[in-house]
């Protein structure tokens, strides 16, 4: 394996780094999605949160609950509360508040679910180009060997061609799984986002009920 790496030339180092990045963020996504709660747990947490909002719990108490809950629900609801605090100081109608808050909650959920997927996509797209650069570099070495020694030294030509092929193969070996990982988790994120949406909107409705009641008082 070490000999294969060395024969690939200098571009094997960034290719190795890119492969480590892809693997690290893949493991992070697997760990994150393995810890995502079921819909029943999501409903229970959301009902608990909306119940505390309706009962008049302070924003600090609600944020403390978000920290305790953690994961998707904790992150999203905490961001929603912070945004609501800012909006409640502005002159907005209920519908304007609802649109703004629903957008905030949806963006926060998507941000959590799609975190680091852009890095995996970058690796999948750029690693092929790195492999191509290694290919070009290997071919240049091969032709330089031919120009210097002629065709009488086949080992020099073979070394350059070997470098070119190794980087090409390595780039594709990294790119294909990375693209598969990106596609899979993008679909998972979309599915989970759709599942989460009605609960997020219910959370927003609870905040707006409280806001409307405070305005009417």
pLDDT for the residue numbered 33: 94
pLDDT for the residue numbered 166: 83
Report the first-to-last Cα separation within the chain, whole angstroms. Answer: 73
The SS3 of residue 32 is helix
pLDDT for the residue numbered 50: 92
Using one digit for the tens of pLDDT, what is the confidence trace for 157-203? 666 677 778 888 888 999 999 999 999 999 999 999 999 999 999 99
CB 160 within 8 A of CB 143: yes
Residue 56 φ/ψ region, left for φ over 0, alpha for ψ in the -120 to 50 degree band, beta for the rest: left
Using one digit for the tens of pLDDT, what is the confidence trace for 89-121? 877 788 888 899 999 999 999 999 999 999 999
pTM of the predicted structure, to 2 decimals: 0.82
User: Which residue from 162, 170, 141, 192 is spatially nearest to 36, judged by alpha carbons?
Assistant: 192
pLDDT for the residue numbered 28: 94
Least confident piece of the model among 3-7, 75-79, 89-93: 3-7
Using one digit for the tens of pLDDT, what is the confidence trace for 40-70? 999 999 999 999 998 888 889 999 999 999 9
Distance CA 207, CA 122 (A): 38
Distance CA 163, CA 140 (A): 10
């Amino acid at each position: 394996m070490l000999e294969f790496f060395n024969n690939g030339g200098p571009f094997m180092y960034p290719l190795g780094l890119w492969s480590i990045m892809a693997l690290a963020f893949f493991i992070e996504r697997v760990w994150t999605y393995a810890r995502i709660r079921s819909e029943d747990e999501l409903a229970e947490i959301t009902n608990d949160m909306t119940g505390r909002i309706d009962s008049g719990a302070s924003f600090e108490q609600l944020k403390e609950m978000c920290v305790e809950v953690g994961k998707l629900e904790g992150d999203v609801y905490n961001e929603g509360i912070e945004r609501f605090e800012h909006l409640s100081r502005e002159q907005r109608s209920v519908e304007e508040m609802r649109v703004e808050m629903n957008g905030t909650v949806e963006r926060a959920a998507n941000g959590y679910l799609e975190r680091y997927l852009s890095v995996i996509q970058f690796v999948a797209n750029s690693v092929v180009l790195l492999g191509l650069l290694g290919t070009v570099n290997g071919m240049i070495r091969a032709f330089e060997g031919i120009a210097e020694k002629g065709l009488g030294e086949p080992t020099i030509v073979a070394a350059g061609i070997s470098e070119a092929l190794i980087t090409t193969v390595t780039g594709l070996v990294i790119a294909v799984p990375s693209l598969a990982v990106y596609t899979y988790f993008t679909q998972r994120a979309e599915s989970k986002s759709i599942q989460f949406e009605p609960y997020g909107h219910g959370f927003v409705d609870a905040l707006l009920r409280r806001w409307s009641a405070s305005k009417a008082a």
